[in-house]
Amino acid sequence: MKISRIDHVGVIVNDLSAAKDFFLDFGLEMLGEGEVEGEWVERIIGLHGVRETVVMLGMPDGQATLELVKFHTPVDDKGMQQSFANTLGLRHIAFAVEDIEGVVAKLKKKGTELFGEIQNYEDTYKLCYVRGPEGIILELAEKIR
């Protein structure tokens, strides 16, 4: 058995349009959008009455894919749960960027929250965390040359 790569990361959202716009503006590329329902998906994910809209976004280099999913049915009765960097479970998506200061400035103009500040890690990376729509946490990493 061999694992070759991560195929995609799935993120469940309430406001699909806002999340899609955020990631497109961030620099990801639209790969496709469509409705998903039926017994086949219900059997995969273990839920009944599934109807969802899926948006697939890709990195410009084609190496990774982000799947945004809006469940129309069934809905999560608990709603959005705000998480923090130390909340247990899958917590953030890391992106390699160029000009981290410029990226952060652009995101802040659109209302994105910077957790702390941009930090230099051992003169190898500049790193920071930001919170996007739906509470999605992104880590931004710029390799210092």
Digit-coded pLDDT (tens) for 1-11: 887 788 899 99
pLDDT band for 135, please (50, 70, 90 cuts): confident
Digit-coded pLDDT (tens) for 18-27: 999 999 999 9
The rounded mean pLDDT for the chain is: 92
Q: Which two tokens stand for residue 83?
A: 């998480």
Dihedral, 69, 25, 89, 10 alpha carbons, nearest 10: 30
Would you kindly state where each structural domain of the chain is located, as residue ranges?
9-73, 92-143
Q: Work out whether strand 92-96 and strand 137-143 pair parallel, antiparallel, or are unpaired.
A: parallel
Q: How far apart are CA 109 and CA 106, in angstroms?
A: 5
Task: Give the residue among 36, 113, 31 at the shortest CA–CA distance from 69.
Answer: 36
Q: What is the pLDDT of residue 107?
A: 95
**In the predicted structure, residue 53 carries a pLDDT above the cut 90:** yes
Q: Which residues contact 88 (CB under 8 A, 6 or more apart)?
A: none
Query: What percent of the chain has pLDDT above 90?
Result: 74
Q: What is the pTM of this model?
A: 0.88
Q: What is the pLDDT of residue 60?
A: 92
**Torsion sign, CA atoms 10, 126, 82, 89:** positive
Q: Give the residue-averaged pLDDT of 105-110.
A: 94
Q: What is the pLDDT of residue 7?
A: 85
Q: What is the CATH number of domain 92-143?
A: 3.30.720.110
- Topology (CATH level 3) of domain 9-73: 2,3-Dihydroxybiphenyl 1,2-Dioxygenase; domain 1 (3.10.180)
Q: What is the pLDDT of residue 29?
A: 97
